[in-house]
Amino acid sequence: MVASMTPVLQPGVFVFCSMLHNDDSQAAVRLSKGSFAEDEGMSLILPKAEADRLGLTYDTEMRQITLMVFSSMTGVGLTAAVTTELARQKIPANVVAATQHDHVFVPTKRANEAMELLRDLQARARDGD
């Protein structure tokens, strides 16, 4: 899968934030790129502008890199290879596995560097290294 992936930097800036049980989260969930129900409330991936409009707090602005390869839910190794490569350069990454592709969220300031590393990883995998 690594040799076949094509990383694509998506437009926009995203943030990870929480909506506690007492917050009205329905509108935010509809606007989100992704959500997960946790014991404390909803964790959301939102466009930064929407989080700001809703007055939500967040730590880091992120960019989304989509790995353009079908990533089966039973596939092994893609997430490990990608996160290991980014970790070597101390680039934080949050991976979201969806039904068609995996998506890697990295800090905005490191997005171009992450793209370069992932393209290099893909090339090395294609070359058999």
- CATH number, domain at 27? 3.30.2130.10
Please give the mean pLDDT across all residues of the chain: 86
**Coil/strand/helix, residue 90:** coil
pLDDT reported for residue 126: 86
Number of domains in the chain: 1
Asked whether the predicted pLDDT for residue 122 surpasses 80, the reply is yes
38 — pLDDT class (breaks 50, 70, 90): confident
Residue 17 covered by a domain: yes
* DSSP H/E element including 14: strand 14-20
Residue 47 covered by a domain: yes
Residue 84 covered by a domain: yes
Planar angle of CA 45, 12, 63, nearest 5 degrees: 65
Tokens of 8: 């694509």
Tokens of 73: 């839910």
Residue 1 covered by a domain: no
Residue 2 covered by a domain: no
Domain coverage including residue 108: 7-126
pLDDT digits (tens, 9 = 90+) for 56-102: 889 999 999 999 876 655 565 788 889 999 999 999 999 998 888 88
Residue 26 covered by a domain: yes
pLDDT reported for residue 107: 98
pLDDT reported for residue 23: 56
112 — pLDDT class (breaks 50, 70, 90): very high
